[in-house]
Structure 1
Amino acid sequence: MQPTLQTQTSPEIQKSTGWKIWWKLTRPHTLTAAFVPVFIGTALARLDTKIDIPLFLAMLLACLIIQAATNMINEYYDYKRGLDHAESVGIGGAIVRDGIKPETVLRLAFTLFGIAVLLGVYICLHSNWWIAVIGTACMLVAYLYTGGPVPIAYTPFGELFAGLFMGLIIILISFYIQTNTITTESILISVPIIILVGAILMANNIRDLDGDKENGRKTLAILLGRQNAIRFLAMMFTVSYVWIVALVFSTDVTLWLLLVLISIPKSIHAIKGFIGKTQPIQMAPAMKATAQTNTIFGFLLSIGLFISYWL
């Protein structure tokens, strides 16, 4: 380890204390991928019906809990497979830095899954029991992302699974529990969120490319190579914005959806943050900017939908 890199990463490897340990274990920068789709699905439903606030809150909390549990399972299995160490960037670090027992982290993850199941029962009681089947599939994929004999995270399909289950599925469930239906519009509006949730994972894999390659992973970023992966990430951003513009001018969706264009500078900042960088700590700001792009884009999309309702 080079001295300069050690100096750069020292803030990252300081031990946390008290509640900060558990908060960092949730990897809060990733939670936007959970609550943004809920907001969008709910905002879209507001165009057709009055929002059931308790259902919305139950759905929001369940998604946040499942995402946090997924991160903990990731932490556990990456530690067990020797991927995480004290200098690793972008991890919670409860195991390798703060001395929390790996089994405690895994038990906490399954406890959170249990809480999500209880919230799911409430949601099903007020909508449809098919939601239970879909929710179970979501939690299974969450576990298999880094657990199981062939973790999804070790394959080129991580971005696809993340986008479909955390983008499309969450938006459609959030919309369905309020309206009892699925529309073509709800599916079409989900597409850029599918892409941007996948972009968060792509950014993560670009940052971790060298370490992942050494540990036998075959992520999409590794298969493409660093430069092409950065170009692919830029294309993901571009398609997301072009998709919304195309929807506005080719369908009857509201012109207010163009508010998402305000988030373009953040996506450009993310891409520039990766160019010419090779050390994970150097790319951490770009990773953060990618997650922020998803957050800002999603909130602006939701605001556009709400404005169209009031106007």
Structure 2
Amino acid sequence: MVSATTHPQQTGWRVWWHLFRPHTLTAAVIPVLVGTAYAWKIGSVNVLLFLAMFVASLLIQAATNTFNEYFDFKRGLDKPEKVGIGGAIVRHGIPENTVLRAAYLLFALALLLGVYICWQSSWWVALAGVVSMLVAYFYTGGPYPLAYTPFGELASGVFMGPVIVGIAFFIQTGQLTPDIVWISIPVMILVAAILTGNNIRDIEEDIAGGRRTLAILLGKTGAVKFLAGMFTIAYLWTVGMIWFGLGNSWLLLTLLSVPKAMQAIQLFQRGVTQPQMMPAMKATSVLHTQFGILFAIGILLS
């Protein structure tokens, strides 16, 4: 077990920045980039709307991570030595209610941006936005948190894939097309893969905490194979998009991220303890970022 002293003591804004888990924030950014890139491909882009959507998505993701910190602490899952948490409460002594209020504040700021987005586009966007925020809250909050079930990947993938990609596209174009759903699928898969990687790392701890994640049901070996399958499908889907005319060979830029996918799988296969699997978890997040940026560039150049 890793000693609490292994973790560097932080003060001031660094505590809060670490609480927001910055390495996960790109999960909220990539779907906005992809949806906006496709909107730009078929028309024009309102830069202020793009920036509002960009920041609102970041705020909701940061709030989700903050709620996760609060509710996991309340359920006794967070310990000072735990890997992968912000540790604002158990390591740095931030009062739990302060962390909860911070999460609500992030939601409030996102709502203000949401009002601007709706005012400039359509008030129907508010419905999708509110549902997304509810999913973010109930991911670890409420009596039956999604994070404690095998459906966490599905929920996070759908809402940080088709939903956010679709909203980013809709607010720029005023329409939704079947194409945008197909384009969002690789994003959905790789967002879900981040969660799968996180759950592989935490299998033993989650079992002790009463969770029933997909990684627990599959076991570590099965979960790593499942993760490799997710990566494979994301790449094959992108190639299929070229075949069916949703892009051209520029989308093959995404293949430049294959080494990071292979690295993540190899690190998970070799890792045994949580600290040993942290690099694998980070590699999965980096893969999502690399793939997403290359995917968006490929869409623009197509």
Corresponding residue for 1:227? 221
Match of 1:88 among 82, 86, 105: 82
RMSD: 1.0
Give 1:295 shift: 0.2
Q: Which runs of 5+ in 1 are unaligned?
A: none
Aligned residue pair count: 302
Q: CA deviation at 1:15?
A: 1.8
> Partner of 2:42: helix, strand, or coil?
coil
Q: Which residue among 250, 272, 281 is the counterpart of 2:275?
A: 281
Opposite residue 216 of structure 2, the aligned amino acid is: I
Give the equivalent residue in structure 1 for 2:143.
149
Aligned to 1:267: 261
Compute the displacement of 1:14 (Å).
2.5
Q: SS of 1:225's equivalent?
A: helix
Q: 1:48-95: per-residue Cα shift (whole Å, max 9, x none)?
A: 111100000000000000000000000000001010111111111100
The alpha carbon displacement at 1:252 in A equals: 4.3
| Cα distance in 2 between the residues matched to 1:216 and 1:75 | 17
Q: Which amino acid in the other structure matches residue 205 of structure 2?
A: G
Q: Which residue of 1 aligns with 2:162?
A: 168
- 1:66 maps to which residue? 60
Q: Which amino acid aligns with 1:203?
A: G
Q: Does 1:31 align with 2:25?
A: yes
1:204 to 177, 180, 198: 198
Identity of aligned residues (%): 55
Moved over 4 A (4+): none
Alpha-carbon separation, structure 1, partners of 2:114 and 2:295: 26
2:42 is matched with: 48
Displacement of 1:184 in angstroms is 1.6
- Residue of structure 2 in register with 1:114 after alignment: 108
Determine whether 1:294 maps to 2:288.
yes
8 Å CA contact retained: 1:14, 1:97:
no
Structure 2: runs of 5 or more not aligned: none
Corresponding residue number in structure 1 for 2:245: 251
Q: Quick one: which amino acid aligns to residue 302 of structure 1?
A: A
TM-score normalised by L of structure 2:
0.98
Paired with 1:14 and 1:303, the residues of 2 have a C-alpha distance of 37
8 Å Cα contact 2:200/2:215 also seen in 1: yes
Measure how far apart 1:10 and its partner are: 4.2
| Structure 1 residue 229, shift from structure 2 partner | 0.2
In 2, Cα distance between the equivalents of 1:250 and 1:108? Answer: 45
Task: Say whether the 8 Å CA contact 2:179–2:246 is kept in structure 1.
Answer: no
The answer on 1:178 being equivalent to 2:172 is yes
> Within 1, Cα distance between the matches of 2:271 and 2:162?
32
